[in-house]
A and B are shown apart, each in its own frame.
Chain A
Amino acid sequence: MQRLFLFLYQYRAFFTFLILEIICAWLIIENNAYQGARFFNSSNGLVAAMNNVSHGVREYFLLRQVNSTLAEENAQLRSRFEALNQLQYITSTPAIKDSSVMNQFDFVSAKVVSNTVNRFTNFLTVNKGSEDGIEPGMAVISPLGAVGKVRAVSRHYSVVTSILHVDVQVSALLRRTGHFGTIQWDGINPDIVKFKFIPRHVEPVKGDTVVTSGYNAIFPEGIMIGTIEEIHLTDELFFDLKVKLSQDFRKLSYVEVVKNSMRQELDSLIQTVVKEDKQ
């Protein structure tokens, strides 16, 4: 027994090394596996407050850009509003009765306080949290396109996994042909994502728009993702498509968090079907 202790003491540096590395490895795996690690991330109040200050300085350099984006969005919304108005006037169809369908999506505007694009796993922090009704799993979009999914929330801040994260997959639709596939980032260029599982008989054209499909109940249907930039035909069953993101993630400044009031309903319905299927 004494010799064991002596042995442990002699190699104490090595054993400490081992223990610390195991703790770190555990943290890394744990943190990747599920939406845990509630305290040690940038939605932690102190950390977020400091990021806030740092981003406040950076924001001055982006003001011009933000202004023009907002103005553009304003114009777009106004035109859509007018069109809708006209349509209602012309057709005078009975309004949709079920108000929960009409108000399925609710949007919360939030400011980005910290953001990265150059790592393999990118996150952004926004300044709205559980106090504004934000929950993990909600979609985040910007005026120009889809951004990501909420990962963890604190009272006033939340951490968002951006689409530029090698493990994130988004169900997407090739708008012109109506075929759907999966968007995933390969970790190299923050402007380009891959669009997978488009079968060979489809004829995608450079410049085709790719939008969200609305199949997974996270993103609303038809949110812009980007346009097709490169088309490769491989020996496999599917195309190798590269999509240029419509939102430049380096210039993200204001985003909207999407609350889907029917998500729970849809999820529970799908879950019961999956369960029955297994039996």
Chain B
Amino acid sequence: MSRISIIQVIAFFIYLFYQVLILKNIVLVNTAFCFLYVAYLLFLPVESTPLFLMLAGFIMGLCVDTFYDSLGLHAFACVMVMYARNYWLSLITPQGGYDVGTTPSIAIGGIQWFLMYTFPLVFLHHAVLFFVEAGGFGMFWFTLWKVILSTIFTTLVTVVVQFLFPSGRYR
């Protein structure tokens, strides 16, 4: 298991509190939500083991759930995404592979690679989240619309975060 650096622990709380204190109140056109805390999970080092990733996702999800009064919901979606993450990373390995200790970022393969990495995972997270919350496929199109708008919103903010805090911070 990778060494958990102190910076990662601090980043955990920053993302968590930013989510539950500020982003919780921001909803565009009644449908677009921003769940930026997923970015923290996506930015964990490349060589993290699935076990570590899933545990991190579970804890992060539970913390967010406590604030959203939806116990288990975010945790469910996070664990799902964290399980899929390493498979997806190995599928889209850029030429030459990953260096040791890197975090997935724009610096690795440019903005195109970065979007290809984040967009499907964020979409998966939001789809699981909203469909479980809706309790099935009763309002399929409305929920899908919510998922798509929220995915675009979250991905955009994720890219902004990348530019604000250039990667290599965790090395």
Contacts and interface: CB of A to CB of B under 8 A. Distances in A.
A and B: bona fide binding partners = yes
A42 B24 contact: no
B71 interface: yes
Given A16-B54, A120-B135, A51 B67 contact: yes
Contacts of A121: 70, 133
Nearest to B129: A119
Contact of B25 (A28, A37, A53, A58): A58
A151 B113 CA distance: 46
Contact of A187 (B27, B70, B72, B134): B134
A159 B73 CA distance: 18
B133 A13 contact: no
A24 B79 contact: yes
B71 A31 contact: yes
B142 A188 contact: yes
Interface stretch (B3-11, B58-66, B90-98): B58-66
A190 B142 CA distance: 14
A54 B21 contact: yes
Given A12-B51, A24-B79, A118 B67 contact: no
B33 A118 contact: yes
B153 interface: no
B124 to A, nearest CB: 14
Choose among B25, B33, B51 the residue with the greatest number of A CB atoms under 10 Å from its CB: B25
Contacts of B164: none
Contacts of B139: 186-188
Contact of B30 (A14, A42, A53, A118): A118
B69 interface: yes
Interface in A18-47: 20-21, 23-28, 30-31, 37, 40-42, 44, 47
A217 interface: no
B133 A16 contact: no
Contacts of A41: 66, 69, 71
Interface string A109-141: 000001010111101010000000000000000
B75 A159 contact: no
B109 to A, nearest CB: 25
A17 interface: yes
A20 B54 contact: yes
B162 to A, nearest CB: 26
A63 interface: no
A28 B72 contact: yes
A27 B139 CA distance: 23
A166 interface: yes
B72 A27 contact: yes
Contacts of A53: 21
B30 A31 contact: no
Contacts of A159: 69
Interface of A: 12-14, 16-17, 20-21, 23-28, 30-31, 37, 40-42, 44, 47, 50-51, 53-54, 58, 114, 116, 118-121, 123, 125, 159, 166, 186-190
Given A14-B83, A21-B80, A41-B69, 7 more contacts: A16-B51, A20-B54, A24-B73, A40-B62, A40-B66, A119-B70, A120-B135
CB-CB nearest 9 A-B residue pairs:
A27-B72, A24-B76, A13-B50, A28-B72, A31-B71, A123-B69, A24-B72, A17-B83, A20-B79
17 contacts: A12-B51, A16-B50, A16-B51, A20-B55, A20-B79, A24-B61, A25-B72, A27-B71, A28-B76, A44-B66, A47-B66, A53-B21, A54-B21, A119-B133, A123-B69, A188-B142, A189-B30
